[in-house]
Amino acid sequence: MNSAPPLVVGFDLDMTLIDTRAGFAATLAQLTLETGIELDADALSARLGPPLHHLLEPYFPADRIDSLVDRFRVCYPDHAITPTRELAGAHEALAAVRRHGGNSVVVSGKFTANAGLHVEALGFEIDHLVGEVWGAGKAAALVEHGAQIYVGDHVHDVEGARAAGVLSVSVLTGGCSEEELRAAGTDVVLRSLTEFPGWLDEYLLDSRLEVLADDLRRRGSVLVAFSGGADSAFLLAAAVRALGVDKVAAATAYSGSLPQSERDPAQALARSLGVRVLTPQTREMEREGYRANAGDRCYFCKAELLDVLGPLATEHGLGFVATGTNADDAVAGFRPGIRAAAERGAITPLRDAGLSKEQIRAASRRWGLPTWDKPAAACLSSRVAYGVEVTPFRLSRVERAEIGVRQALTGVGLDVRDLRVRDLGERASIEVDTELVEAAGAVPQVLEAALDAGFEGAQVDPRGFRSGSMNERLSDAERYR
């Protein structure tokens, strides 16, 4: 299955992102001065949305309209840009799209050059701008840029969304009432863009959960590579919901790289879901590339895992092996393990549905899963500096040190969430939550725990915990060879 397409949201400009009324009225006043024809600025401003040609028709002969529109556009930059302000929530709405990894395209009936001046003046961070399109004519631009949602304030914006086959979201900051917008066929009505970020969060989560469920149902049966972390736990729960317990099994591979502290909670969660738990042994330590611990160590680890789980799935009559790779992982750059799994036919339902880590945690909380706020975890080998050979002794030393450091911090009342002891050879680098760095460094038992575990020296990293911090030590050549 292909990954979900990137999020693209279209926005109207006038009275959706910006309040153009003051600038529009000022430009009309200039036209009044030049033509001697009194224009009702209040009435015309209340009707913003249709092309200017339509608004001027009651005031001028048809043969003068085109020239007056041209003159309006010339006068507009001097009179309309400065007094025009963004509407409440406009920047936050655009930021919400970016936060979800999406693109924003402004599709407006406004003269393109003048629309661009507003975007620049107000610092809107958008990806594309299309001007001089109206009503159903907006559909072509929305389709061209792959929009899935179009946000506007006018019934003609609804018309454009409907013609493009995209979700119509309407805000009540323009001249149209909720009744008019709903009669035009809008899907969603918000009071203003201040409500848009929360609505987008819920909409994307709900729609991506539906995509995930549909994908899993099509698979028929799955063996979930289950570490007990937030991602694989959520995938396991989603598979049970979509397929039923008889079509799902969890496989937790036991080896020296899986901390003992992770094993019992993982089994307890899987069994609470009514799922079969398989605990095959993996022997990644027998793979030379894994022991060598170069930048591609995770490739050999994941290759070993999938080489074990593939036949196991077949043995138990399960159609696919599924991993908990999420949408954030897919764009994180250096992920050799993902490549190894893909080469062996593993599926990634969370990634394919476009579910981010944040969304997985939100959905896990919604479903009552205890892993919704579980700190990020990784195998013990991830603590060993690249180029330092991975051995059973090093892994057990790291595990002993982490247990001891956590106990030392808890003993003085410091509740640490994220903790890693990094093996730099014979020295340990201790990473704790950033806000606890200073306090942890003042606790003698913290360094003593690392020394007692077998390290010759230790220090608390002043930068605090950073997921994947060992990757910072890799050169580009090592990273992508």
Domain ranges of the chain: 8-16+85-202, 21-80, 220-377, 381-480
CATH of the domain spanning 381-480 = 3.30.300
Each residue's pLDDT expressed in tens, for the chain with a length of 481 residues: 456 678 999 999 999 999 999 988 888 888 788 887 888 777 777 667 677 777 787 778 888 888 888 887 888 899 999 999 999 999 999 999 999 989 999 999 999 999 999 999 999 999 999 999 999 999 999 999 999 999 999 999 999 999 999 999 999 999 899 999 999 999 999 999 999 999 999 999 999 999 999 999 999 999 999 988 899 999 999 999 999 999 999 999 888 777 666 677 788 899 899 999 999 999 999 999 999 998 888 899 999 999 999 999 999 999 999 999 999 887 765 578 899 999 999 999 999 999 999 999 999 999 999 999 988 777 889 899 999 999 999 999 999 999 999 999 999 999 999 999 999 999 999 999 999 999 999 999 999 999 999 999 999 999 999 877 776 765 443 443 4
Residue 479's pLDDT is 41
Residue 41's pLDDT is 73
Structure tokens at 329: 């992982």
Quickly name the fold that domain 8-16+85-202 has. Answer: Rossmann fold (3.40.50)
* Tokens 């808890």 -> residue: 410
Quote the CATH superfamily of domain 220-377. Answer: HUPs (3.40.50.620)
Please count the residues of the chain.
481
pTM greater than 0.85 (yes/no): no
CATH of the domain spanning 21-80 = 1.10.150
C-alpha angle 7/184/19, rounded to 5°?
65
Query: For residues 153 and 181, what is the distance between their CA atoms, to the nearest angstrom?
Result: 8
b/e map 293-327, b = 16+ CB within 10 Å: bbbbbbbbbbbbbbebbbebbeeeebebbbbbbbb
Residue 49's pLDDT is 67
Report the DSSP pairing between strands 188-190 and 167-171. parallel
How many secondary structure helices (H) and strands (E) does the chain include? 22, 15
Residue 1's pLDDT is 47
Query: For residues 50 and 154, what is the distance between their CA atoms, to the nearest angstrom?
Result: 9
Same CATH topology for 220-377 and 381-480?
Answer: no
C-alpha angle 15/16/21, rounded to 5°?
15
Residue 474's pLDDT is 59
Q: Dihedral of the CA atoms 394, 400, 401, 407 (nearest 10)?
A: 170
